[in-house]
Amino acid sequence: MSARVVLGIESSCDETSAALVRIDGGSLTVLGCTTASQDALHAEYRGVVPEIASRAHLDCIIPVIRRTCESAGLSLHQLNGVAAGHRPGLIGSLLVGLSAAKSLAWALDLPFVGVDHVHAHLVAGLLDQPCLEWPAIGLVASGGHTSLFRMESPHELTLIGATIDDAVGEAFDKGAAILNLGYPGGSRLDECAEAGDPTAIPLPFTRLATLDFSFSGIKTALRLAACSPENAGRTGDLACSFRRVLIAQLIRNISRALDEYPSASVLIGGGVAANRLLRREAATLCADRGVILRIADPRWCTDNAAMIAATGALRIARGEQDGPELAAHPLSALARGHRGKQERTK
Ligand code: KG4
Ligand code: ZN
């Protein structure tokens, strides 16, 4: 099969992104990616304001696509397909990227596919990497999701665990707000934690009997510890202790998933995959267990269109495509209540 180039568009939340990815056999190469961040627009609200986000996507979408093509030295006429993230996300935001992708595909007479953003976070670990060995345990750790999958291939996923309250990225952001580290908080808390002592502040380790996750109790424990006069001025220690118990839960569940579902590899993606401690601990775990670790490059951890283009390219290479009626949806098809529920009772 000859190489194909797919344009991907991501606009699910507060990043407008376009990317070109070449698929050649199983290998996925990023030819160009441009992302316009809206962080500055939302910072004063310490969270994303949907109406501001969708208007900013409208302003940015065409310039971002144009810049991506220019940086890759390709014209739209050299494309073989177009993909857009169509779920999960803010509907007004998703519609901007989805409409742009459908219009381009129609105008250029190219196949169009809609991509599930959660699936794309896993595929991000395959970008610019040698082909992976299957089956794999996949972890998506982002601002909206904390989900564990058994993967037979990039296309066959079964949900085996998910958060029952906050997502881990959300816990990082709330922890950063408690410690007054600013927005977006996860990366700032991670940086601040590097200088702290991980055992200085006792915080509870959450150990559920299933492969599910829970983070809200840890966040409450951090709030109480941060209010205690004896911890005044110990922001580094608080951040470091908090990061330690959040990451310990992710690592524990990957380890237990490997016990339950023997696998050749572990694949990790999502914004929290950029976390320094998670990257170190996952490397140690996988080395101990003799499995391959593929953790998305930090460039492809937080929201970006390269992961959307790659997931779309995998589908288009299989001859799949979606029709113009494909709708935006607020939830992932890979969340509990969709696929995977029956497997969890196994
Ligand atoms: O995947 P992503 O860009 O968006 C969603 O799909 O939700 O993830 C964003 C999340 C935010 O909660 C952010 O605080 C967190 O990823 N994050 C981090 C780090 N970098 C980003 N959390 C912990 N450590 C980091 N280095
Ligand atoms: Zn994301």
148 touches 162 (CB < 8 A): yes
Which parts of 228-304 fold into alpha helices (H)? 235-260, 276-289
Question: Mean pLDDT, to the nearest integer, of 74-99?
Answer: 98
Give the residue, out of 172, 250, 308, with the most ligand 1 atoms within 8 A of its beta carbon, to mutate for a pocket test: 172
314 touches 120 (CB < 8 A): no
Give the residue, out of 244, 272, 295, 297, with the most ligand 1 atoms within 8 A of its beta carbon, to mutate for a pocket test: 272
Question: Mean pLDDT, to the nearest integer, of 77-97?
Answer: 98
State in Å: Cα 86 to ligand 1 middle: 20
State in Å: Cα 255 to ligand 1 middle: 22
CATH number for the domain running over 4-127+300-331: 3.30.420.40
Residue 250, class by beta-carbon neighbours within 10 Å (0-12 exposed, 13-18 middle, 19+ buried)? buried
DSSP 77-111: GG-SEEEEEEESS-HHHHHHHHHHHHHHHHHHT--
Q: Give residue-wise pLDDT tens across range 322-333.
A: 999 999 999 999
> Per-residue confidence at 182, pLDDT binned at 50, 70, 90?
confident
CA-closest residue to ligand 1 atom 8:
271
- Between the two ends of the chain, the Cα-to-Cα distance in Å is 38
CA-closest residue to ligand 1 atom 20:
187
Closest CA to 273 of 116, 140, 113, 97: 140
* 136-296 has the same fold as 4-127+300-331: yes
What CA–CA distance (Å, rounded) separates 258 from 208? 16
Q: Is the CB of 190 under 6 A from ligand 1?
A: yes
Q: Please provide the average confidence, as pLDDT, over all residues in the chain.
A: 94
> Per-residue confidence at 346, pLDDT binned at 50, 70, 90?
very low
> Per-residue confidence at 39, pLDDT binned at 50, 70, 90?
confident
Output Rg (C-alpha) for the chain, integer angstroms. 20
> Per-residue confidence at 338, pLDDT binned at 50, 70, 90?
low
Residue 339 has pLDDT above 80, yes or no: no
Domain 136-296 belongs to what architecture? 2-Layer Sandwich (3.30)
Mapped onto helix, strand or coil, the DSSP state of residue 267 is strand
Q: Is the CB of 308 under 6 A from ligand 1?
A: no
Q: Bridge-partner residues for 32, per DSSP? A: 20
Task: Please name the residue that has the structure tokens 């220690």.
Answer: 237
Q: Give residue-wise pLDDT tens across range 264-300.
A: 999 999 999 999 999 999 999 999 999 999 999 999 9
Question: Mean pLDDT, to the nearest integer, of 73-80?
Answer: 97
What CA–CA distance (Å, rounded) separates 30 from 309? 9
CB atoms within 10 A of CB 323: 8
Q: Which two tokens stand for residue 320?
A: 């799949």
Question: Mean pLDDT, to the nearest integer, of 144-169?
Answer: 97
* Nearest-ligand number for the alpha carbon of 188: 1
Domain boundaries, the chain: 4-127+300-331, 136-296
* Nearest-ligand number for the alpha carbon of 185: 1
Per cent of the chain over pLDDT 90 is: 91
Q: Which two tokens stand for residue 109?
A: 């007479």
> Per-residue confidence at 154, pLDDT binned at 50, 70, 90?
very high
Residue 167 has pLDDT above 60, yes or no: yes
State in Å: Cα 185 to ligand 1 middle: 8
> Per-residue confidence at 45, pLDDT binned at 50, 70, 90?
confident
Residue 227 has pLDDT above 60, yes or no: yes
- Strands of the chain (E only): list them: 4-10, 15-24, 27-37, 81-87, 112-116, 136-141, 146-151, 157-162, 265-269, 292-295
| The predicted structure's pLDDT at residue 303 | 96
Ion ligand 2 contact residues with beta carbon within 5 A: 142, 303
Residue 142 has pLDDT above 70, yes or no: yes
Edge to edge, the sheet with strand 292-295 lists: 157-162, 146-151, 136-141, 265-269, 292-295
Q: Is the CB of 166 under 6 A from ligand 1?
A: no
Give the residue, out of 302, 304, 311, 331, with the most ligand 1 atoms within 8 A of its beta carbon, to mutate for a pocket test: 302
| The predicted structure's pLDDT at residue 344 | 31
Q: Is the CB of 142 under 6 A from ligand 1?
A: yes
> What distance lies between CA 270 and its chain's CA centroid?
2
| The predicted structure's pLDDT at residue 337 | 63
CA-closest residue to ligand 1 atom 16:
271
269 touches 262 (CB < 8 A): no
Residue 22 has pLDDT above 60, yes or no: yes
| The predicted structure's pLDDT at residue 3 | 85
> Per-residue confidence at 345, pLDDT binned at 50, 70, 90?
very low
